[in-house]
Amino acid sequence: MPKKRHQNKYSKPQSTAPALLSSSAASRNDSRQDDPSQSRGVNELLAGLRRAGLSGSRHQTPDVVQPTVPPAIRQILQIPETPPPRPRRPLRLGPGGARLPAGPAPPRSWLSRPERALESAVRRSAAGPDGDGERDWVRKPLPGVHLPSRGSLVDLVLRRFARDWRWQRSYCRYHLYGLPTHLRVALIVYLGTYTEEGVSLRDLRAVLLPPRDAPEYRDDPALAPSVMNETFTYLDLSGSVGRSLKLRELSDLLFPPEAEPVDAQESWDAPENTSPDIPRPLLPNLTHLSLALDPGSPHAVSWRQLLAFAAHLPGLTHLSLAFWPEPTLTPNATLATVVSPQTGRSLQYGGTGPYSHSLDDDWAEAVLILRRLSRRLYGLEYLDLTGCGAWFPALWATAGEEGDESVDWAGAWGKITTLVLHPGYRFVEEHGKGGDDEGDELVRFWGLLSAARRVEGHIRAQRAGKGRFITVETYKPPGKS
C-alpha cells in the first residue's frame, strides 16, 4: 500500500538570513567604514558634542553639565574654560516694595487699574421731582488708589469674595492678614460697594488685625499690626460711616488708647522690660481717607466726633466728606429754645437756628467748626465736599464780632490744591413736564454751580498769590469746557 504523507502544520525557520537583510547589513558596514564618526562609541559622541558647544558659544550654558577642573590642569590639557552660569531673573517687586510671587509677569490687562474703574459700580440713581427727573449719585474714589480694572481677573475674584464675605471672613481668617497691602485696600473698597451693610468694625478687624488664636503673630515683633500695615495708606469707608460703622469705633481701632499710668513707686521697683509700651497707630502712614456718606440711606454722624478723630491725623493729605450734613455741634437742637433767667426771654439753644441761614445769613457755627478742623488737618492737599451744597456759603462766610474769622485757605488749608464741590447729582434739563417744581429745581442746581465758582474766586483772592494754586472741580454742563 502506498504510504500516507502528512503535511507539517508548522514550518521550521530558515537557518540563513534573507537576501534583503544581508544586503542592508552589508551596506551599513560599508558606510561605517567610509564614515569613521559612526564607528565611535556613545562616550566619544558626547565628548564631541561638548567640545562643539563650548567652542561655538562661550556665553551659553551647555545642555550637559561638565565637571570643573583646576586652572593648572585645564591649561595642560588645553580644556576650554567653563562658561559662567546664566544670570538669575531679577526679583519682581510690587507697590511698596513687596515681593511678588514667583512665575511669569501678569498680562498688561491685569495691571491696568484706572482710578475711575468703580464709578459705574457705585452709581446710584434716584427719582427727581415728581418722579420724572433723573439724578445720578456719583461717588468716585480718591486719587492715588490702585484698583483692578473692571472685568479683570482680580476684579472678578474680589467681587465674588465680597458677595460671599460672611463665609470667607470665617474660612480665610488666618490668611486675610497676610494678603498684600494693595489687595487688602481693594478688598475694603469692594466690601463697601458690593455688600448691603457696608464695612463694619468686625470686617476691619479681620483685614487689619491678626487672628487672636494665632500665637506666631504675637511672638514675632516683625508681624505686629503697626509693622505689617506700614504701607497701608488708603482707607475707603464710603457708605459705611454712620450706618454700619461709627467714628468713635473707628478711632478706637486705628488709635488704641494709651495704657493706664503706673504708680511712681511701682515704676521704680518694676524692671525695665515690664514697662508698658506706648501703643502705635494701627495705620501709622495713613494719607488717604474717605468718610463719604450714602445719600440714599439714613446715617448718624457727629462733627464733634470728627473733630476728635481728626486730632490723630495730622499727616492726612486726601479726605472725602461727601454728603456730610451742615457743620454743627448740636444737630438735634435746631428748634430748641431756653428761657434766660435774667431777661426772661426765650433764646436759641444751639449755635444754629431754623432761620440762621435763610433770613440772617448767619454761618458762624459752621465757620468756627471748619476752622477747628483745618487746624487739625493742616496737611490736606485734596478735599472732596460732593453733595454738601447746602453749606457751600460757609466756605467764604465770616464770623466773629468784628467779622474777621473765616476758613483759613491761605494758612491751615493753604496746601489744598484740589477742592471738589460737585452738586452730587446730574440734573437732566429736558426730562418731562416742565412744571414749576422742575424750574425751582433747575434754579437750585445752577445756584450750586455758581456757589462753587464763588468759592474758587474767594480762595484765590485770599491767597493772593502767596499759597498754592487752587482748582475747584464741579459739574460741567455738556458742550462747555
pLDDT in tens, 167-198: 999 999 888 988 999 999 999 999 998 888 88
83 closest CA partner among 48, 56, 54, 63? 54
Burial zone of 431 (CB within 10 Å; 0-12 exposed, 13-18 middle, 19+ buried) = middle
- Confidence (pLDDT) at 291: 94
Using only the alpha carbons of the chain, give its radius of gyration: 38
- Confidence (pLDDT) at 299: 79
pLDDT in tens, 63-74: 455 667 788 888
Which single residue is written with the C-alpha cell 563650548? 54
- Confidence (pLDDT) at 182: 92
262 closest CA partner among 251, 250, 278? 278
- Confidence (pLDDT) at 31: 52
With beta carbons less than 8 A apart as the criterion, state whether 467 and 414 touch.
Answer: yes
pLDDT in tens, 221-265: 777 888 889 999 999 999 899 888 999 999 999 998 764 444 444
238 Cβ neighbours under 8 A, 6+ residues apart: 122, 139, 141, 192, 290, 291, 292, 294, 320, 322
Which stretches of 156-280 are assigned E, i.e. beta strand? 234-236
Give, as one character, the DSSP assignment of residue 120.
Answer: T
pLDDT in tens, 382-432: 999 998 988 999 999 888 766 678 899 998 999 999 999 998 876 654 444
Listed range (69-83, 197-211, 245-259, 335-349) with the worst mean pLDDT: 335-349
With beta carbons less than 8 A apart as the criterion, state whether 370 and 407 touch.
Answer: yes
pTM of the model: 0.67
Name which residue leads in pLDDT, 8 or 281. 281
Mean pLDDT calculated for residue range 139-148:
82
- Confidence (pLDDT) at 255: 92
CA distances from 300 to 211, 251, 324, 456 (A): 30, 16, 10, 30
